[in-house]
């Protein structure tokens, strides 16, 4: 090759990539996914020595000892091999008893163990939604539920909750109007991250009847079902209470919230038995199975963890009430106690541009909150505060917020 031919070849390869197929980019659908704005705020805090982080959705407490011990025992016993795609039999049996006690008869054959809730959401979406399908999601919402169907080439229409003096509510007529007969799947999360909004049984009944009429799948993300403070019930209303197990309803759940097992990556699905062979194939091609010693610890969490979960929920309720009362002493903060999950989603001066506000809060006040816009455009104007931590830390955070707003002349 002459020198000038070489120069042309090198210029061409810069334009088209080394092999002439263009730059080595991911698929368009993947490139179009929204990056996490919570990460963006966390990145803005790099270099700030003393940050109080309330931005992520996890407790500051470690997994209970009895569950960690179970994992250690399983490792010591050599539980290091692949398992059945749908999970080990003892865990599916324990989960079937647990789900039956909370929501009515459920068989092990209707349970699949997954690598946490987010993997369960992906599997559920992969089972029923594909390229060109129409999906509806209720927002503001943890972004994964909106982005996952897009990875599969589906289009997602959002229906926004309404914010008024009662807090966040669902305009049922708007949701039903969006659930057109050509809709493939509804993605709905209750209790909801970030708002704490919890769907009522009557709302669920109406939505289920509508989806039955049109053959629409419901993927119900119920990972916060145990973090419920609405009445004396030990679990939030669930689609599983109303639907038969052979209907187009898939319930997604997780060990992350009720047993503080975020880092373990263990969850489950409740789905019609007819789906399970196909689901097994999807698990095989995604992860093959959840880790075996983690599944063993999961059995102990389900079988022996009820007292722990109930005391965790009591602590969370107290933290929620504590934080609401403290924030209500700050001028300009509009906050209410929601019925579920572990977040306050509230407005305050400057939150019209919540990403900028949260970056300033972390840089100037060492306070780590999640911007409302991270949960879709409908979340703009709000910030999310995870209250799953020690009340003294919440107080320290509130004082940082008060000082920040005072310096800005807002309070």
Is residue 262 within the footprint of ligand PLP (CB under 6 A)?
A: yes
Tell me the C-alpha distance between 154 and 140, whole Å. 19
Q: Does 385 bind ligand PLP (CB under 6 A)?
A: no
Q: What residues pair up with 32 in beta bridges, in sequence order? A: none
Task: Select from 45, 87, 117, 305 the one that contacts ligand PLP (CB under 6 A).
Answer: 117
For residue 338, state whether it binds ligand PLP (rule: CB under 6 A).
Answer: no
Told to check if 316 binds ligand PLP by CB under 6 A, we report no
List, in sequence order, every residue forming a beta bridge with 186; answer none if it has no partner. 136, 218
Task: Label the pairing between strands 249-254 and 217-221.
Answer: parallel
Please count the residues of the chain: 411
29-34, long-range: CB < 8 A, 24+ apart? 29/150, 29/151, 29/153, 30/151, 32/150, 33/147, 33/150, 33/151, 34/143, 34/147
Strands of 383-386's sheet, edge to edge?
343-346, 383-386, 370-371
CA 208 – CA 217 distance, rounded (Å): 9
**Inter-residue contact 359 to 404 (CB < 8 Å):** no
Q: Cα dist. 182→149, 227, 271 in Å?
A: 16, 34, 22
Q: Which helix (H) or strand (E) holds 127?
A: helix 116-128
Cβ proximity to ligand PLP: between 219 and 279 the closer is 219
Which among 47-55, 71-79, 112-120, 161-169 is the span making contact with ligand PLP, rule CB under 6 A?
112-120
259 near ligand PLP, judged by CB under 6 A: no
Residue 291 lies near ligand PLP (rule: CB under 6 A) = no
Please identify which residue in 59, 254, 319, 354 interacts with ligand PLP, judged by CB under 6 A.
Answer: 254
User: Is residue 112 classed as helix, strand or coil in its secondary structure?
Assistant: strand
The piece of 113-121, 179-187, 239-247, 313-321 that touches ligand PLP (CB under 6 A) is 113-121
Q: Which is nearer to ligand PLP, 42 or 333 (CB)?
A: 42
- Is residue 116 at the binding interface for ligand PLP, with CB under 6 A as the rule? yes
Which of 41, 99, 113, 118 touches ligand PLP (CB under 6 A)? 118
57 contributes a contact to ligand PLP by CB under 6 A: yes
Structure-token match 């929501």, residue found = 103
Strand partners, 249: 218
Check binding of 223 to ligand PLP (CB under 6 A): yes
Stretch near ligand PLP under the rule CB under 6 A, chosen from 114-122, 161-169, 279-287, 291-299: 114-122
**Does the footprint of ligand PLP cover residue 267 (CB under 6 A)?**
yes
Residue-wise DSSP of 331-353: TT-B----SBSSEEEEB-TTGGG
Name the residue nearer to ligand PLP (CB basis): 221 or 339. Answer: 221
193 half-sphere exposure, CB direction, 13 A CA radius: 24
Cβ 261 to ligand PLP, closest distance in Å? 8
In whole angstroms, how close is the CB of 182 to ligand PLP at the nearest point? 26
In the complex, minimum distance from the CB of residue 219 to ligand PLP, in angstroms, rounded to a whole number: 11
* Extended beta strands in 262-338, E state: 267-270
Stretch that binds ligand PLP, among 60-68, 97-105, 110-118, 322-330 (CB under 6 A): 110-118
Q: Cβ closer to ligand PLP: 223 or 302?
A: 223
Asked if residues 379 and 139 have their Cβ atoms less than 8 Å apart, the reply is: yes
Rounded to a whole number of angstroms, the minimum distance from the CB of residue 168 to ligand PLP is: 14
- What is the nearest approach in angstroms of ligand PLP to the Cβ of residue 24? 29
How many chain residues bind ligand PLP (CB under 6 A)?
13
Torsion from C-alpha of 7, 11, 17, 22, nearest 10 degrees: -140
In whole angstroms, how close is the CB of 113 to ligand PLP at the nearest point?
Answer: 12
CA distance 303 to 297: 10
Query: Which x/- pattern over 154-193 shows residues binding ligand PLP (rule: CB under 6 A)?
Result: -----------------------------------x---x
Instruction: Give the residue at shortest CB distance from ligand PLP.
Output: 117
The binding site for ligand PLP (CB under 6 A) comprises 57, 116-118, 142, 189, 193, 221, 223, 254, 256, 262, 267
């Amino acid at each position: 090759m002459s020198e000038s031919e070489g120069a042309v070849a090198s210029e061409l390869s810069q334009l088209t990539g080394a092999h002439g197929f263009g730059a080595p980019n991911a698929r368009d659908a993947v490139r179009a996914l929204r990056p996490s704005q919570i990460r963006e705020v966390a990145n803005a805090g790099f270099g700030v020595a003393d940050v109080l982080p309330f931005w992520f959705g996890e407790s500051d407490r470690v997994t209970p000892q009895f569950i960690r011990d179970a994992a250690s025992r399983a490792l010591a016993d050599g539980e290091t091999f692949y398992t059945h795609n749908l999970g080990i039999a003892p865990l599916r049996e324990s989960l079937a008893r647990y789900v039956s006690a909370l929501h009515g008869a459920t068989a092990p054959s209707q349970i699949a163990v997954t690598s946490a809730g987010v993997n369960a959401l992906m599997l559920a979406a992969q089972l029923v939604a594909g390229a060109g399908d129409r999906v509806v999601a209720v927002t503001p919402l943890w972004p994964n539920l909106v982005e996952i169907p897009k990875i599969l080439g589906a289009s997602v229409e959002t229906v926004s909750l309404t914010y008024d003096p009662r807090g966040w509510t669902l305009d049922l007529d708007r949701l039903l109007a969006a659930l057109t007969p050509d809709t493939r799947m509804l993605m709905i999360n209750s209790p909801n991250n970030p708002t704490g909004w919890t769907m009522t049984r009557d709302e669920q009944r109406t939505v289920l009847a509508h989806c039955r009429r049109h053959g629409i799948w419901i993927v119900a993300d119920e990972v916060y079902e145990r973090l419920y403070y609405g009445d004396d019930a030990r679990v939030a209303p669930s689609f599983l209470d109303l639907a038969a197990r052979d209907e187009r309803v898939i319930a997604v759940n997780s060990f992350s919230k009720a047993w503080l097992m975020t880092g373990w990556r263990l969850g489950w699905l409740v789905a019609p038995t007819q789906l399970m062979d196909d689901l097994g194939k999807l698990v095989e091609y995604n992860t093959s199975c959840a880790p075996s010693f983690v599944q063993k610890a999961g059995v102990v969490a389900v079988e022996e963890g009820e007292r722990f979960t109930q005391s965790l929920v009591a602590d969370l309720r107290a933290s929620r009430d504590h934080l609401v009362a403290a924030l209500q002493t700050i001028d300009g903060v509009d906050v209410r106690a929601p019925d579920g999950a572990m977040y306050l989603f509230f407005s305050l001066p400057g939150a019209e541009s919540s990403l900028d506000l949260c970056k300033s809060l972390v840089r100037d006040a060492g306070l780590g909150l999640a911007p409302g816009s991270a949960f879709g455009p409908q979340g703009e104007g709000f910030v999310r505060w995870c209250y799953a931590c020690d009340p003294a830390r919440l107080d320290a955070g509130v004082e940082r917020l008060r000082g920040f707003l005072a310096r800005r002349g807002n309070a």
